[in-house]
Amino acid sequence: MSRPSPYPAELRQRAVRMVAEVRPNYESDWAAVTAVAQKLGIGTAETLRKWVRQAQVDTGQRSGVSTDESAELKRLRRENAELRRANEILKSASGFLRGRARPATATLVTYIDEHKHLFGVEPICRALMQFGWPIASSTYRAACRRLPSARARRDAWLCRQIRRVYEANYGVYGARKVWLALNREGVEVARCTVERLMRHMGLRGVVRGKPRRTTIADQHAARPVDLVQRRFHADRPNRLWVADFTYVPTWSGMVYVAFVIDVYSRRILGWRAASSMKTALVLDALEMAIWARGRHGTTDLSGLIHHHDAGSQYTSIAFTERLAAAGVDASVGTVADAYDNALAESTIGLFKTELITPRGPWRTCDQVEIATLEYVDWYNHRRPHSGAADLPPAAFETLHQARLTEAGPQPV
């Protein structure tokens, strides 16, 4: 908006009229304008000259934009600016306030607070009023001065707890796992509240990517039969293990990581990272799984089924002989069929989704190995698993052992 003139309209009209009256007494227009300006106390002669020229344009004596036309242009520009600003407010509010005929006052206050630096408080309130979302600027300011409610204070505290749990668990937990973790810590909160606050903070669980095949079958090797037939269920630990391996691209070359998982608890019993996918890769993971069970007193693995795919590493002589020496029955699924080893594929999918993808790029095999060590410890002891009654796998096995102890020895 232009600055108002310090001279009254009556003074401007009288000055223009006096210039026309005294013009015959002076040699030039400028001399007449200078004399009148001095007598009436007008700041500069140039100011009066502009008034005279504008008066001539208004009366048709000179070409140009008249005063009325100039005022109309200013009015149209002002309206256009207001409409453009209102349109911008509407566009920003359409995504923020969608879904209701009249959003709650707290929602409108939050919107104004986030956008006032762009449009100003009063213009936003006027625009919202036009679109059927009335809120006065005084209502907004009163809300800003008001102390936070009990719910708002609890939400702020819960947001800190949710972010702590989320960041402490690789930033991969969705609302369900965050809710489970908080309740396990003694923080009583509803799942819908966790979902609402995570949505407000922009936190979300990871989504798996598309897996790739790594199985290369040896067409000449003898294969055990499929003893599982896609029935990935066990009534106690050490009834069924599944195994598979995946690859991790690094700056120094491809790294392969093999896993052995107990179907009952979903616990990762053995794993190995190496720069080649030879038999030693899967054999070392198996040795670690056997050692892990022996460490806790389970040395007799008879009746255990070890299920894997038809890769040449798993059908090799060395691997087959090690299974036989441990009293473990081998089971092999079909080639190029992820469903025949779905549980292992699922665990590897979690490994890549929760660790490998978000924390890359990876530099060396050693870096992947250290990260996998930390991930397996977290996965087994702190991460709740839906296949283990929403408990960490290690805790689920401990619960199973406690039930067996409480029940006492079973009759033969």
Question: Is residue 188 within 8 Å of residue 226, measured between CB atoms?
Answer: no
State residue 97's pLDDT score.
57
- Please tell me the total number of residues recorded for the chain in this structure: 412
Beta carbons within 10 angstroms of residue 138's beta carbon = 10
Q: Does the bond joining 148 to the residue before it have cis omega, within 30 degrees of 0?
A: no
Question: Is residue 269 within 8 Å of residue 293, measured between CB atoms?
Answer: yes
Residues 6+ apart with CB under 8 A from 309: 215, 244, 332, 333, 335, 340, 341
Cα–Cα distance list, 406 to 394, 402, 410 (Å): 18, 6, 11
Residues of the chain with pLDDT under 70: 1-5, 90, 92-102, 209-223, 334-338, 408-412
State residue 142's pLDDT score.
86
Q: How far apart are CA 12 and CA 193, in angstroms?
A: 68
Model's pTM, two decimal places?
0.58
Cα–Cα distance list, 108 to 105, 122, 135, 162, 261 (Å): 5, 13, 8, 25, 51
- Single out the residue of 387, 342, 335 nearest to residue 230, CA to CA: 342
State residue 1's pLDDT score.
47
State residue 262's pLDDT score.
95
Q: Give pLDDT tens digits for 218-269.
A: 555 556 777 888 888 888 999 999 999 999 999 999 999 999 999 999 999 9
Helix (H) or strand (E) holding 228, with range, is none
Beta carbons within 10 angstroms of residue 210's beta carbon = 5
Q: At what angle do helices 317-325 and 279-295 cross, to 10 degrees?
A: 10
How many helices and strands in the chain, by DSSP H and E?
A: 16, 5
Q: Give pLDDT tens digits for 97-143.
A: 555 566 777 778 888 888 887 778 888 888 777 777 778 888 888 88
Cα–Cα distance list, 49 to 10, 11, 45, 183 (Å): 16, 14, 6, 81
State residue 6's pLDDT score.
75
Question: Is residue 325 within 8 Å of residue 188, measured between CB atoms?
Answer: no
Question: Is residue 168 within 8 Å of residue 185, measured between CB atoms?
Answer: no
Coil, helix or strand at residue 257? strand
Tokens of 224: 């055990």
Cα–Cα distance list, 383 to 182, 204, 388 (Å): 12, 16, 10
Can you point out the beta strands (E) in 251-390? 253-262, 268-274, 305-308, 329-332
* Beta-sheet strand order (sheet of 268-274): 268-274, 253-262, 240-250, 305-308, 329-332
State residue 412's pLDDT score.
46
Question: Is residue 276 within 8 Å of residue 247, measured between CB atoms?
Answer: no
